[in-house]
Structure 1
Amino acid sequence: MTAPSQPLLEIAGLKVQFGQTKAVRGIDLSVMPGEAVAVLGESGSGKSVTGKAIMGLINRPGRVEGTVAFEGRNLVGRSERDLAAIRGPGIAMVFQDSLDALNPVYSVGNQIMEILTVRLGWDRGRAREEAIRLMEQVGIKEAETRLGDYPHQFSGGMRQRICIAMAIALKPRLLIADEPTTALDVTVQAGILRLINALRQESGMALLFVTHDLAVARQVATSLVVMYAGRVVERGKIDEIFARPSHPYTRALLASNPGAVAHWSQLQPIAGNPPDKATKVTGCAFAPRCPRAEPRCRAEAPELRDVMPGRQSRCHFAEEVAHV
């Protein structure tokens, strides 16, 4: 059992590369037992690739370097057999597209039951009872009747609930949720977020929630990791970061959030585009888009450093940014 003072998950110097494309350029982050951490960034920031790297789902020609320590054991370079033993009871993952995550030719009941019969050795009768209980737990009405239904017979929100039921079937210590509400409407999204929060509080499992949505991040997490161009640019307590961001990219994200302004005309979109992932970055990766960039920013890459208690930022001028 991991001691509460030790991280459940600790990532150090993680790099993921596909040919010349550097999706993750060396990140450090940790998740404590029971902690809820949101990983925030725009498309292409490397946040989803990070989640898959933790699970050992980066296939060739992808290359993974660095350390991904779960309960003190490094998962990088482990055999598929070792990783399979950790997936489920150790780490489970909910993916963005529930239709792709489910097998279209098997009933949802059989897919949940298979986890229990194969991984725990349960007989089908016991597995069936647990599958019904799990479906009820995630809010599927008439679960016993719907056990024999197929994925296409459920709405997008209900399919995502089925995926969550499968993810928690083996009672994981860490749940990774990779933008699980992106394809859902606002009302359904709110229900899924409430469900994830409730399950986390009931079970005590830790959560790593990958998202591009500021409002979603704030609803599910207490800690925030902001990624840009394959690197962590800011991390700390989410409420403190929202109140006083210390990186220009984080500040720009908040200024471009529709929920933070009274009228659309007040929105401040971020100019420009992220750097090409196949190109070597000189200096700060955000400098070409940063309104306060100076010559030093383009010549010297900033380190991720402590800028106040419990806060780290990858900016030469983080203290000034935080006090704007």
Structure 2
Amino acid sequence: MGGVSIPVVVLAGFLGAGKTTVLNHLLRSAADVRLGVVVNDFGAVGVDAMLVSGWADSTVSLENGCLCCSTEDGTVDELLTRLTARRGPDALDAVVVEASGVAEPAAMVRQVLTSTVPGVRYGGLVVVVDGVEFETVRRRHRQLDDHVAMADVVILSKTDLLEEAAVARVTARCRELNGWAPLVPAANGSLDPRLLFEAGPPRTRQLALGEAVPDEAAHLHSFYDAVEFRSPDPLDPRRFTAFLDARPSGVFRVKGPVRFAGADERYLLQTVGAAVRFTRGPWPRGAPRATELVLVGAGLDAPALLADLRACVQTAGEPVDEWAMMAVLRSTEGV
């Protein structure tokens, strides 16, 4: 794993919101990514049977190298230990913890944040919201407002069943509850895995009898934008953390190595929604000591983002503020 920890993403939403559809879509479309999935129980989750190749105790082996574990008591440490014990080519790249429809997301998040399993990190809370039954669910479950408010990413499911005006109303209400988190429409549960973790190109799902059908995820890239930024000169840590705090909600993810002024080590940045995490370590032998970032999102103003990032570059002769790194260190692993 090269010293980089495995992100653990919590996927939450009330019964019927579409979590299972989103989860199955991630499993089908995340090519070149080995996912570990922790669910409350297999019966409730209904992981796509076409993806399941065998059962072993409480672990399901999936056809694309992913694993699925179940837990009935809500604890995740034992399962995270089992999932992250794999090494070499079988090592997992990310873990998704699927909370049951009656689970409290905050409790699941606390378990991940307080986990003592080495080599894992909290990768954010993703809340799936039923676009069709949004107001009905809010009346029945007042906690929905709290769930949306604490989310790092909000997924609006079933938008393919709604008129444009209805999507706009649900989006506006979610934005009132959470003024920062990206709001991502997911027609038919289609979610680009690149929003949550590293992923290769979309894959083709194989049916049970070998018939190949194109996955709708193959066209998802048209909805998302990517902006690349590179600077051989170091960034001012205070200005860069201010940029991260103020980045537009359309920026779903920011990832890549960062070179900071006054720091000899490399800081590998990963953001999911509002969650920001740096991993500190030495620069790989032969790697250029440069900031190389990719910003993924929707409706991005590339010129404005690049201008803001260029403004973070430390100018020649500018004094280094030794306290400026404190904001970075607060979000850095191993400090």
Higher strand share: 2
Q: Which has the higher contact order (CA 8 A, sep 6+)?
A: 1
TM-score by length of 1: 0.28
Higher helix share: 1
TM-score by length of 2: 0.28
